Amino acid sequence: MRILWRPFGFSRLLKVKSCNSTESKLLIPLAWTTLTQKLRKVPGIFFLFQRKVFSTMAEMEASKSKSELFSPPSNVRGMKNLDRTAFKKTVTIPVLKVRKEIANRLLRSLKRSALQRPGIKRVIEDPEDEECRLIMLDPYKIITHDSFEKAELSILSQLNVSPQISKYNLELTYENFKSEEILGAVLPEGQDVISGFSRVGHIVHLNLRDHQLPFKHLIGQVMIDKNPGITSAVNKINNIDNTYRNFEMELLSGEENMMTKVRENNYTYEFDFSKVYWNPRLSTEHGRITDLLKSEDVLFDVFAGVGPFTIPAAKKNCTVFANDLNPESHKWLLHNCKLNKVDQKVKVFNLDGKDFLQGPVRKELQQQLELAEERKPSIHIIMNLPAKAIEFLSTFRSLLDGQPCSSELLPRVHCYSFSKDANPVQDVQQRAGAALGISLETCSSVHSVRNVAPNKVMLCITFQIPASVLYKNQTINLENDEEPSVKRQRKDNDFLEEKTETAPDT
C-alpha cells in the first residue's frame, strides 16, 4: 500500500504495509478498507495506490500451465528408444495480424514480445487473408493487448496496427523442442537432466550418472540432433587413472570416428580423442599461463599432452622442451607442432615425467642458468598432471650441481593439483611443500582453475624453486623424504639420442 501525501503543495510518497485484498474477518484489513474509503473522500490531499502481493489459486494454476505450454507431451516419459513422432503437440499462442508489407519491419520493433522457439517462423501467412501476415507472440509475455509495453504500443499506433490479439493453433514437433526440454520430459521426473557437456570437434563428451544410463543411447542421439556439427556422442565409463591419462569411453550414438580437430586460442590441434587427454574447459588456463611468458623465455612442459601449453609458448618465441609419456600424445604433439609451424622451436620427448626432469631438464637447466647471467631469460616448468604432479616435485631436490645462480633466475614452477580439502589453498601448499622439504605458505601463489566436482577443485600452485632445494650440498630439511636426494640417473646421452625427436620435414 502506498499513499501520496500532498500537504500544502508538497508531495511525499509514504510507504505502508500492504495487505491482502481478499475478504477477511480480521479487523486490520477491515480497518484499512474503512480508512481507504474515508481518505478517497478528501480531495487533493491523499491518493491511494493498492498493490496486490498475493497470487490467487487460479493465477498459480495459470502460471503452471504456462510453464508446461512448451513442454513435450507427457506420454514420452520413460522413452528409451527415440521416437521423434511422439513429440507432436498442438498449443494455442497469441498472434498479431498485420499487413504483409509491414510485417518484417514491425517484427524488429517487437523483439521483446515475439516468440523465440527453435525451428518456428515468427511471421507466417494468414490462412484467412493473403494480404496479411500473423506475427507469433510469446504467450509468457503477451496475454492481452494491455501486455504490450508503451514503446511497442507507440509503434503499433504509428503503423496503424490494431493491438488486438488473436489466437492461433500451432503444431509443435520434435524439431521445435530444446534438448533440455526433451530430456526433462523423458527422464524420470525429479531426476537431474544433462547439465553440461564437453565438445571436442565433432564429438560431444558426456559424463552420465547412474539414473541416466538406461537412457544413454537416446541422450546421445538427442545431443547430436540438437547441436549442429556434432556427429558422435560418447560417455566416459571410468576415471582418468591409467598411465596415459586417457579414459575408456563408450559410443552412445553417431559415428565411431574419434579423429578430431579443435581450435583453441587461435591454434589448431588434431588428435585421436580416444587415445589422448584433451579438456576444452582448460582453454582459459592455457591462455593464462601463455600470458605469463615472454619472448626468449624457456619452458619445460613435463606433461605436455598434444601441446596446448607448448604450441602457444613456441609461438611467443620461447624455447620449449615438451614431454609426454603417452606414445599417442607424443605422436600428435609432433604433428601439432608442425601443423602450427613451430616444429623448429620445440624439442619433443617421450619419457616418464621423473626421467624427463632428471635427464633433459637437468642438463638444460644447468646450461641455461650458466647463460642466464648474460641474457637473463625466465625459466618456467609446467606440471599439468593434477592427480599426481605434486609427487614429482621431490625430483627437484638436489637436482643440480655447482654454485647456485642468483635467486631471480631460479626456475618458476606451475604445478597443478586437485583438492577436496575444506581449505584447498592451504592443502596444496602443504603437500607441495612436503614434497620439496620446505614451507611454501609465504613464497607461493595458488590459482583456482575450476570446480571439477562438488567439493573438488583444480588448482595451480606457482613458486620459484629455492636454491637450497635445487642445488646439492645446500642446507635443506630432509624430513619426510621418501628417497635419497641423489638418485641413480641415466646418462644424458641416453635421453637425447634415443628419445628425443623433432617433427619430420615435409
CA distance 158 to 139: 24
Residue 467 backbone class (left: φ over 0; alpha: ψ -120 to 50; beta: rest)? alpha
44 is in an annotated binding site: no
Residue 335 contacts residue 270 (beta carbons within 8 Å) = yes
CA distance 83 to 222: 11
Question: Considering Cα of 490, then 493, then 499, then 503, what sign does the dihedral take?
Answer: positive
- Locate cell 491482502: which residue? 20
CA distance 366 to 56: 78
Q: Which helix (H) or strand (E) holds 470?
A: helix 467-470
Other beta carbons less than 10 A from residue 479's beta carbon = 7
Side-chain-side CA neighbours of 326 within 13 Å: the count stands at 24
202 is in an annotated binding site: no
Question: Considering Cα of 312, then 314, then 317, then 319, what sign does the dihedral take?
Answer: positive
Alpha-carbon dihedral 224, 229, 231, 237, rounded to 10 degrees: -70
Other beta carbons less than 10 A from residue 79's beta carbon = 17
352 is in an annotated binding site: yes
266 is in an annotated binding site: no
324 is in an annotated binding site: yes
- Locate cell 620459484: which residue? 464
196 is in an annotated binding site: no
Q: Which residues are annotated as a binding site?
A: 286, 324-325, 352-353, 384
Q: Which residues are annotated as a binding site for S-adenosyl-L-methionine?
A: 286, 324-325, 352-353, 384
